[in-house]
């Protein structure tokens, strides 16, 4: 499969601080690729080098099979993490302003429908909710009908409903065959949307692959979770996270039997499939948020 992005040994230094430390990865055409990691991991620095906004200190970036160069960015759309919108302009006025800048923009109706803007077209930019604002910024990123779209933490700060609504827009963009690079610190978001991910921590990629393959490689079976207040100790291998004992097991029945034999209360017990959040904890020894 053709790669829309190939990155080799990409590094960014800010003085003595190395924000991105020699990372390599590629993004296949038509995929949604997720760059994941906690605050300060180096996601924005990485995506801004891919977008041509920041110059790398070292390393190579290829876009659409060619060394990155200015003309290739015509095929790219960017939703930055922070963008100022013009006060007093309505949504439709803002979209039309950007639409007029391009020779071959996406048809206006298609853009409005794709980003679910129909109901807010006459709203002033200052009155938009977080989710509405992100939908407008997404429309501005798509206005040139890009083959490759960069979305930098597009759902940070949105409520769960708005996040899920935004996910369906990302799925619709992907269904049109556009490739997507998404940064997020929400592991559930990556698990739902991404074909491939790279988990970053402290400027490096600590794991990469499809979410399913990564979880299959690092976990067996399920995780049995018991609240900490149920007991002072549990025999056998376990970890402590999120205020509970977590026991990774291939034999859920036997594990629960063993807890009963140890006279440990099962009150509040959960059995769950491991998530990318669990993987991050396993790989780094610390939870993703705090």
* Site residues (vs ligand ATP, CB under 6 A): 14, 17, 19, 37, 39-45, 185
Minimum CB separation of residue 14 from ligand ATP in Å reads 3
Comparing CB distances to ligand ATP, the nearer of 43 and 163 is: 43
Alpha-carbon distance of 129 to 276, in angstroms, equals 29
CB of 37 to ligand ATP, least distance (A): 5
Q: For residue 281, which of 231, 232, 219 has the smallest C-alpha distance?
A: 219
Compute the least distance from the CB of residue 23 to ligand ATP, in Å. Answer: 12
CA 57 to chain centre: 24
At residue 167's C-alpha, the angle toward residues 165 and 169, to 5°, is 80
H helices present in the chain, as ranges: 43-50, 91-99, 108-114, 130-142, 160-175, 187-193, 211-218, 252-261, 276-284
Whose Cβ is closer to ligand ATP: residue 76's or residue 288's? Answer: 288
Residue 15 or 285 having the CB closest to ligand ATP: 15
Cα 230 to Cα 221: distance, rounded to the nearest angstrom: 23
For the bound state, the minimum distance from the C-beta of residue 171 to ligand ATP, rounded and expressed in Å, comes to 23
The nearest distance, CB 143 to ligand ATP, in angstroms, is 24
First vs last C-alpha separation in the chain: 38
Q: Which two tokens stand for residue 111?
A: 């853009």
Q: Name which of 14 and 102 has its Cβ closer to ligand ATP.
A: 14
Q: In the complex, what is the shortest distance from the CB of residue 54 to ligand ATP, in angstroms, rounded to a whole number?
A: 9
**Residue 19 or 140 with smaller CB distance to ligand ATP:** 19
- Picking from 271, 217, 265, the residue whose alpha carbon sits closest to that of residue 246 is 271
Instruction: Pick between residue 11 and residue 62 the one whose CB is nearest to ligand ATP.
Output: 11
Residue carrying structure tokens 């933490």? 153
The least CB distance from residue 10 to ligand ATP, in Å, is: 12
Nearer to ligand ATP, 33 or 245 (CB): 33
Alpha carbon of 176 to those of 37, 101, 184: distances in Å? 27, 23, 22
Torsion of CA 192, 193, 197, 198, to 10 degrees: -90
């Amino acid at each position: 499969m053709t790669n829309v992005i190939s990155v080799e040994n990409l590094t960014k230094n800010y003085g003595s601080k190395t924000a991105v430390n020699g990372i390599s990865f590629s993004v296949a055409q038509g995929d949604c690729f997720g760059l994941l990691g906690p605050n300060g991991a180096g996601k924005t620095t990485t995506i801004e080098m891919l977008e041509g906004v920041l110059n790398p200190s070292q390393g190579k970036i290829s876009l659409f099979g060619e060394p990155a160069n200015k003309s290739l960015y015509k095929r790219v759309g960017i939703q930055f993490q922070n963008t100022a919108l013009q006060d007093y302009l309505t949504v439709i006025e803002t979209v039309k302003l950007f639409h007029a800048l391009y020779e071959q923009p996406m048809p206006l109706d298609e853009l409005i429908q794709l980003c679910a803007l129909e109901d807010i077209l006459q709203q002033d930019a200052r009155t938009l909710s977080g989710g509405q604002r992100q939908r407008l910024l997404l429309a501005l990123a798509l206005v040139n009908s890009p083959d490759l779209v960069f979305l930098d933490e597009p759902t940070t700060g949105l409520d769960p409903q708005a996040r899920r609504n935004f996910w369906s827009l990302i799925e619709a963009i992907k269904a049109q065959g556009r490739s997507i690079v998404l940064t997020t610190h929400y592991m559930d978001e990556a698990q739902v949307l991404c074909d491939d991910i790279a988990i970053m921590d402290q400027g490096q990629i600590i794991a990469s692959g499809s979410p399913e393959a990564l979880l299959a490689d690092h976990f067996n079976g399920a995780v049995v979770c018991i609240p900490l207040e149920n007991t002072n100790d549990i025999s056998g291998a376990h970890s402590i996270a999120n205020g509970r004992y977590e026991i990774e097991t291939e034999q859920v029945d036997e594990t629960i039997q063993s807890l009963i034999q140890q006279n440990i209360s099962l009150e509040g017990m959960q059995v769950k499939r491991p998530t990318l959040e669990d993987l991050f904890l396993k790989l780094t020894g610390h939870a993703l948020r705090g």
